Chains A and B, each alone.
Chain A
Amino acid sequence: MTVPLLELRDVTIALRGSNRRMVTGVGLSVSVGEVFGVVGESGSGKTLLTRTVFGLQDDTYLAGGTVSFAGRTLPLDGYMKAARKLLGGEVGFVPQDPYSSLNPTMRVGEQITEALYLAKRMPMNGTATRQAAIDVLGEVGIPEPELAFRQFPDQFSGGMRQRIVFAIALAQDPKLLIADEPTTALDAITQRRVIELMLDRCRTRGMAVILISHNLELLRQSVDRLAVLYGGQLHNIAETAAIGHHTIHPYTEALFDCIPSKGKTLEDIRAIRGEPAGAGFGLKGCAFASRCRYAEPICVESDLPLNSAAQNGFTACLLGRGAPQ
């Protein structure tokens, strides 16, 4: 078995100050070049998980578990500093909102040359750096990249801005790209185009991608494997190809039941009853039990199983539903 690019084992994330555990016992692994999805409702802890793991969240910390990148385990002491060292080189990031993720007072070109300088020590004002930046703008489909190089972010539409943000990450040639709801702020057609372009460029370069989204349909069409988070617990890791063919985890199933599609009648589309649990549910009992239609007493009484071995397929369902085939 090859060494996974990123491996989390029993990762627990807590708030600074109150030490409240927001995400508990998450184990997963992403291999080199894999497109991996993380899905969950708002507040399920998906953003918190990735931002904390890569040292981008100020108010939380890694309270337990281990994180390994390319076979190297990051120390728990001074974790944030060590994790930040991976950024700008090994790991790239595309944040949520393209309207605020570019510096409004810095020209687009400079934002890319800065990325090239930080990742590859290319001189910020060098001709080669400039050309590399223009090339990468062209690569993400910005028309007239020479012109765009000199422009400011507010001269671009949301879709174009997200391409620029993506260009910044791409310029650094990371091994892993984390895209946190990269298209939520965009309309449906632009969404599809940006995601397809992004995944295509990443696959060409052999970059692994973690795509975080609450949009299950989008993920099903674009990722190889999927991790499902609920209430700060990892509930399911499944191959997207298998979904719909085997019994699946009740929460994953409930999520898919919400998606309207061809051949489904209105009765087939079922909303999940009740309110979503916020992150920070802990490990005592299944966070989804109160809304699950299969729930039995054991679901609230037992501790949730952990994916400590970070296996490729996993179910946390106490009834064993959705176990990997």
Chain B
Amino acid sequence: MTYAIQRIAFSILSLFILLLTTFLLSHVMAGDPAIVAAGPNAGAAKIEALRQQMGLNDPIFIQFFIYCGSILRGDLGTSWFTQQPIAQDLLRELPPSLELVLLAMLINLAVSMPLGLITARYAHSKFDDMVRLVVMAGAGLPVFWIAILLQQIVAGNWGLLPIAGRLSFANRSFSGPTGFYLFDSLLAGNVSVFFDALAHLLLPAIALSLLFTAVGVRITRTSMINEFRKDYVTLARAKGAGEARVMFRHVFPNGATPALTVFGMQFGWMLGATVLVEEIFGRPGIGRYAIKAVTQSDIHAVVAVVLIIGVVFLVANLLVDILVYALSPRKQRAG
């Protein structure tokens, strides 16, 4: 329990640093917001009045304090472009992205963990070399290229999966309370929408997961190889345990922990990597929102995206660290 509290306190400190960074990004780097807000034809008096009104003449730490306060209240400012509260925009854009990232992460884990374990057991075999080759190719190819290729071949030539979007035209009116279509469709008991949404998710998720899977396989392999060398593996074999038992009952639980930490970080990185995939597959989401915001110089929206990705990163790592701790013998003894 004390560990969880320490770890949460550490996350709050990280959050504070994240807030400070985004604050500096928007308030210092962006130039004088009053000039921008006043428009190109405003006189000096108008700008000065605006500056007073926007609180830009206050000491910087007071501005920061106000900034933190409004963010904690859920106010991320108003988009200069959509004229909507940014928080509302993000609430709409985040679920499709998270849905995509969660599925991509699931694919990543489902491929990396077993493949890492098996290549570690048969390290330096032909199978291991082959996996390494494929994985290196996967890591070396650009995500956008893979995405276009998948779209072209699997969706275009073979017609197996939809090319773009979140749902088919027939289901266009579907909406649900959470914005996670996979979840909402099941909630509504609408299985056809569920499979439609899943089909639309599959290619983008595969494209997104590829690079991360390449890293995931390597990390898992390294971590498992380390475990295979230890004496407890010899002892397990000496007890007469078969290779399957040695791998799954002994090596895997010990080797998975270090790998899990990396997977936790990958979650945040993935959210940042949705930018290209969402654009190519024409899916709404935080990545596409970020591109729009950047091209329109919508500074507050950009900062809000940075902030939200940072927060997701922190939360994912916090959860993984607590999970890793909960799985460790140290914790099981205390609790």
Query: Is residue A265 contacting chain B, with contact meaning CB distance below 8 A?
Result: no
- 9 closest cross-chain pairs (CB), A and B: A88-B240, A93-B238, A101-B231, A152-B329, A118-B240, A100-B231, A103-B232, A95-B231, A88-B239
Q: How many A residues are at the interface, by size bracket?
A: 20 to 34
B235, A104: Cβ atoms closer than 8 Å: no
Q: Report yes or no: A103 in contact with B238, Cβ–Cβ below 8 A.
A: no
B220-234: contact bitstring with A at CB < 8 Å (1 yes, 0 no)? Answer: 000000000011101
Shortest Cβ distance from A24 into chain B, in angstroms? Answer: 24
Q: Which residues 77-116 in A have Cβ within 8 Å of B in the complex?
A: 84, 87-89, 91-93, 95-97, 100-106, 114-115
Q: How far is the CA of A91 from the CA of B231 in the complex (A)?
A: 17
Chain A CB within 8 A of B46 CB: no
**Given A100-B230, A103-B250, A105-B254, does the pair A87, B238 have CB atoms closer than 8 Å?**
yes
Excluding A97-B231, A102-B232, 13 further A-B contacts by CB distance (< 8 Å) are A54-B238, A56-B237, A87-B238, A92-B238, A101-B230, A103-B250, A104-B254, A104-B329, A105-B253, A105-B329, A119-B239, A151-B333, A152-B332
Most B C-beta atoms less than 10 A away, residue of A102, A105, A151: A105
Partner of B235, one of A51, A89, A152, A168: A168
Q: Is there a chain B Cβ closer than 8 Å to A227's Cβ?
A: no
Task: Using C-beta atoms within 8 Å of the partner chain, give the interface range for chain B.
Answer: 20 to 34
User: B304-335 CB contact bits vs A (8 Å, 1 = yes)?
Assistant: 00000000000000000000000111001100
Report whether B239 and A114 are in contact in the complex, using a CB–CB cutoff of 8 Å: yes
Q: How far is the CB of B43 from chain A (nearest CB, A)?
A: 71
Once A104-B329, A105-B329, A152-B332 are accepted as A-B contacts, the answer to whether A87 and B232 lie under 8 Å apart by CB is: no
Contact with A along B42-60 (1 / 0, CB 8 A): 0000000000000000000
A165 within 8 A of B: yes
Q: List 9 A-B contacts (CB under 8 A).
A: A54-B238, A88-B238, A103-B254, A105-B253, A114-B241, A118-B239, A118-B241, A168-B235, A172-B240
Give the shortest distance, in Å, between B249 (CB) and chain A (any CB): 8
A151 — which chain B residues lie within 8 A by C-beta?
A: 333
Interface string of A164-207 (1 = CB under 8 A from B): 01001100100000000000000000000000000000000000
Q: Is A257 an interface residue (CB 8 A)?
A: no
The distance from the CB of A40 to the nearest CB of chain B, in whole angstroms, is 20
Provide the bound-state CA to CA distance between A54 and B250, in Å.
Answer: 20
On whether the beta carbons of A101 and B235 are closer than 8 Å, the reply is yes
How distant is B174 from chain A, measured CB to nearest CB, in Å? 45
Q: In the bound complex, what is the Cα–Cα distance between A131 and B209 (angstroms)?
A: 49
Which residue from A96, A115, A169 sits with its C-beta under 8 Å from B231?
A96
With a cutoff of 8 Å between Cβ atoms, the chain B residues found around residue A114 in the complex are 239, 241, 249
Interface residue? A154 (CB, 8 A): yes
Task: Indicate with 1 or 0, residue by residue over A306-325, a CB within 8 angstroms of chain B CB atoms.
Answer: 00000000000000000000
Chain A residues close to B by CB (< 8 Å): 51, 54, 56, 84, 87-89, 91-93, 95-97, 100-106, 114-115, 118-119, 151-155, 165, 168-169, 172
- CB pair B236–A152 under 8 Å, yes or no, is no
- In the complex, what residues of A have CB within 8 A of residue B332's CB? 152
- Among B231, B240, B250, which residue has its beta carbon within 8 angstroms of that of A87? B240
| Residue contact A95 to B235, C-beta cutoff 8 Å | yes
Nearest to A152 among chain B residues (CB) is B329
Give the complex CA separation of A80 and B91 in angstroms: 60
* Docked complex Cα distance between A292 and B294 (Å): 81
What separation, in Å, do the CA atoms of A97 and B230 have in the docked complex? 10
- Cα(A285)–Cα(B231), bound, Å: 35
Q: Report B121-174 residues with CB < 8 Å from chain A CB.
A: none
B332 to A: closest C-beta gap in Å: 7
Q: Complex: how many Å from CA A102 to CA B230?
A: 9
A89, B240: Cβ atoms under 8 Å? yes
Q: What is the minimal beta-carbon distance from B46 to any residue of chain A, in angstroms? A: 67
B238: chain A residues at CB < 8 Å are: 54, 56, 87-88, 91-93, 95, 169
The 8 A CB mask of B279-296 against A (1 = contact, 0 = none) is 000000000000000000
Given contacts A104-B254, A105-B329, A155-B333, contact A88 B232 (CB under 8 A): no
Measured in the bound complex, the distance between the Cα atoms of B232 and A165 in whole Å is 10
Min Cβ gap B169→A in Å is 51
- Among B239, B254, B327, contact of A172 (Cβ-Cβ < 8 Å): B239
CB-nearest residue of chain B relative to A102?
A: B232
Q: Which residue among B234, B237, B239 has the maximum number of chain A CB atoms within 10 Å of its CB?
A: B239
Contact B237 A103, beta carbon cutoff 8 Å: no
Contacts of B232 in A (CB 8 A): 100-104
- Chain A residues whose C-beta falls within 8 Å of the C-beta of B249 in the assembled complex: 114
Return chain B residues, CB-CB under 8 Å to A101.
Answer: 230-232, 234-235
- Central interface residue in A51, A88, A151, by most chain B CB within 10 Å: A88
**Complex Cα gap A105–B232 (Å):** 11
